[in-house]
Amino acid sequence: MVQRNKNIAKLQAGYLFPEINRRKSEFIAKNPDAKIISLGIGNTTEPLQSTAVKALKDASEAMGTAEGYSGYGDEQGMTALREKIAEKFYNNIIPADEIFVSDGAKCDTGRLQMMFGSDSTIAVQDPSYPVYVDSAVIMGQSQLYNKDNDQFNGIEYMPCTAENGFFPELKAADVIYFCSPNNPTGAVATKEQLTKLVKFAKDNKSIIVFDAAYAEFISDPDLPKSIYEIEGADEVAIEVCSFSKPFGYTGVRLGWTVVPKALKFEDGSSVRDDWNRIMTTVFNGASNIIQTATINMLNDEGMKEMRELVAFYMENARLIKNALDSYGFTTYGGDNAPYIWVKTDKMDSWEAFSYILETAHIVTTPGAGFGPAGDGYVRFSAFGGRENILEAIDRMKGLSL
């Protein structure tokens, strides 16, 4: 018999969101009439905008013609799309050939582990998007799970708390994962904080993996949307980004990763070249229909529609946050991020998750699922239809965490 991968065996109860779904299904089985509102997993709910729909239709139809048909393309993505991303999201401060188009930020995060390999050490914000820790464990970058502190031995956890304004004391590791706007806390790092992060990485010869999947949800012009707004970041940082949330592409699938040419490994070799090697080996390019459509959608109208979609979800965030504040909850985030991080004083976060599910029939996400420092919080996602958001707000009245 084949031995099970010992690193997979190290993973705890499973990936967070399947575990939440399991508990939700258990509740529904016992309460089949309950009308559940899901503000748990940050899944988009609103239909695609009209420019995207038209562009996708046109690109699909073109594939049905001899002139418009194409098969495999460049693994790095279509040049015109890389150029559009450079223009629309980076004001051309990033050259197109440092942008690698992909099927999403989550997938790239997993493939990055393959590039770093099992000998690398990592540091993560605690709490954080579970993919960083889980993919590191699978890659063999950690030792066993330690039940005493709810951490994997060998991984550096950097607690982000209300006390430190959700910007952690930085810890040295080969790779430092940093997500801003943050999932789950909704915190957004300032220019000064990111400058500190870049300097820390330089001093410690670390590489930052900066997750900017929610960059477009920032409306405060003083807050950086990209790590490359910080001088010298191109020598220390990779940035992963996504069309998923701002464009409603969660099911369409498109993202990108920036790997600057200035970024080098210890031996002086190019990180970009290794990333190119990984992508050409285990990835065969994002769908050409999606890429072509997105090239044609990334115009003034498409960007305007994207901003409208973001504004819709951010209005949800405002409604949730204002309501919870008025009920006396302590909330964080929700201003430049689509997540509201809510303090629980009387119960731990899984208890709060169950209490909200059983009393208000709302699915949230327990903070502890994002790391031990997330205990004592639950996350509310602003991704939802307006009617559901208003109903959820109403149901939260009178609850006490």
Site residues (vs ligand PLP, CB under 6 A): 42, 104-107, 129, 179, 183, 211, 213, 242, 244, 250, 255
Choice between 258 and 360, CB closer to ligand PLP: 258
CA distance 249 to 89: 16
How far apart CA 265 and CA 271 sit, in angstroms, is 6
- C-alpha–C-alpha distance, residues 202 and 296, integer Å: 39
Give 122 or 179: the residue with its C-beta nearer to ligand PLP.
179
Indicate the Cα dihedral angle 139, 145, 169, 267, nearest 10°. Answer: -30
**Minimal CA–CA distance to 130: which of 267, 19, 283?**
19
**Closer Cβ to ligand PLP, 256 or 355, answer by number:** 256
Which residue is at the shortest CB distance from ligand PLP? Answer: 104
What is the nearest approach in angstroms of ligand PLP to the Cβ of residue 105?
Answer: 4
Torsion, Cα 41 43 45 47, to 10 degrees, reads -170
Least distance CB 146 / ligand PLP (angstroms): 25
The answer to whether 180 and 189 have CB atoms below 8 angstroms apart is: yes
- Least Å distance between CB 250 and ligand PLP? 6
Q: How far is the CB of 114 from ligand PLP (least distance, A)?
A: 16
Q: How far is the CB of 147 from ligand PLP (least distance, A)?
A: 26
Rank residues 255 and 366 by Cβ distance to ligand PLP and give the closer one.
255
177/355 with CB nearer ligand PLP = 177
Q: 3-state class of 395 per DSSP? A: helix
CB of 254 to ligand PLP, least distance (A): 8
Q: In terms of CB distance, is 250 or 270 closer to ligand PLP?
A: 250
Report d(CA 211, CA 191) in Å as an integer. Answer: 15
How does strand 175-179 pair with strand 207-211? parallel
